[in-house]
A and B are shown apart, each in its own frame.
Chain A
Amino acid sequence: MSPRATRRLLLAAGLLAALGVSPVSPIHVYTPREVYGTVGSRVTLSCSFWSSEWISEDISITWHFQAEGSRDSISIFHYAKGQPYIDDVGTFKERMEWAGNPRRRDGSIVIHSLEPSDNGTFTCDVKNPPDIVGKSSQVTLYVLEKVPTRYGVVLGSVIGGVLLLVAVLVALVYVTRYCWRRRQAVLQRRLR
């Protein structure tokens, strides 16, 4: 083969090789950094991911929980082969709900009836074969005793409420007196 033809063949092969072996970027998982909730309420732990591959049937989403002050990270949720598996023996028994949609790149869960022992770090891990390399993402849940009311809410509402009430009563009295006086005038004109 002529050198020019060999060079062209090598170039074409190189291009094909470059197209075929595309660099696989790792999978990216996103969660908010902190989530706040009050005791007894519900909270949504949202987890979204980005993968350079198509969402396959073998996609798996896992949630782990590490309680505050503890060193163990327990697994509380697993999604595999299109089927969600929710914790039914642990601390989140009957309190967790799958609220995600892998097709929409969403792996969120909802926790109902928050307890003070739910304080801790939740880790969301997504694996989309063949895209399996990537960092998982963590979200810290803070459970508050009750919503602290800002200073001035009670003050403002009491002042506003009483002033409004007094204004409405005064207006009512004046309108009633005005209507009554008009009726008196009409009656007097009729009697005359």
Chain B
Amino acid sequence: MLLLLLGIIVLHVTVLVLLFVSTIVSQWLVNGEHAADLWQNCTSGASFHCLASSSNEWLQAVQAMMILSVIFSVLSLFLFFCQLFTLTKGGRFYITGVFQILAGLCVMSGAAIFTVRHTDWHQASENTSYGFAYILAWLAFPLALASGIIYVILRKRE
């Protein structure tokens, strides 16, 4: 049983780390030397300098969704430890699972909005490709969903 507990916590922490990295790191769109991100656009040519991103409403919505997903995941971890000690035997970790599922939905909607609307604030040229932070965001979505569902199905033992 301890192994199960450890596995669940490792999965949750992995989701949390993925969410943090994809929110903070500046690699959502890569174009040669340019890297566009949620928060700033960086150029690493002869000199390395960064400018703040545009204040487009859709970009702000993506930022809001990513921040919300991080908040929900952190809350979910905190509530998991609370429920671990206060739940009755046989009870389910409903609220932990609900918050983790919410985090997954938020990161999915954020990444989806970004995919559809990124041309609003960033002119797409030929060799613009998605950076690794964008891929991590899409990876975090199924993991968060799976983690949340495991919490909802799991029953507290011993």
Are A162 and B60 also in contact (CB < 8 A) when A151-B55, A170-B95 are?
no
Are A159 and B57 also in contact (CB < 8 A) when A166-B102, A170-B95 are?
no
Interface residue stretch chosen among B23-31, B61-69, B126-134: B61-69
Main secondary structure of the interface of B (DSSP, over half): helix
Structural contact, B67 and A154, CB atoms closer than 8 A? no
For the complex, is B84 an interface residue (Cβ under 8 Å from A)?
no
Structural contact, B60 and A154, CB atoms closer than 8 A? yes
Summed over the interface, the residue pairs from A and B with CB atoms below 8 Å come to a total of 34
Main secondary structure of the interface of A (DSSP, over half): helix
For the complex, is A185 an interface residue (Cβ under 8 Å from B)?
no
Are A154 and B71 also in contact (CB < 8 A) when A159-B64, A166-B102, A170-B95 are?
no
Q: Point out the residues of chain B lying under 8 angstroms from A149, CB to CB.
A: 55, 57
Interface residues of B in 25-71 (CB under 8 A from A): 55, 57, 60-61, 63-65, 67-68, 71
Q: Point out the residues of chain A lying under 8 angstroms from B57, CB to CB.
A: 149, 154
Q: Point out the residues of chain B lying under 8 angstroms from A166, CB to CB.
A: 72, 102
Give Cα A86–Cα B61 distance, bound, in whole angstroms.
48
Structural contact, A158 and B60, CB atoms closer than 8 A? yes
Structural contact, A163 and B60, CB atoms closer than 8 A? no
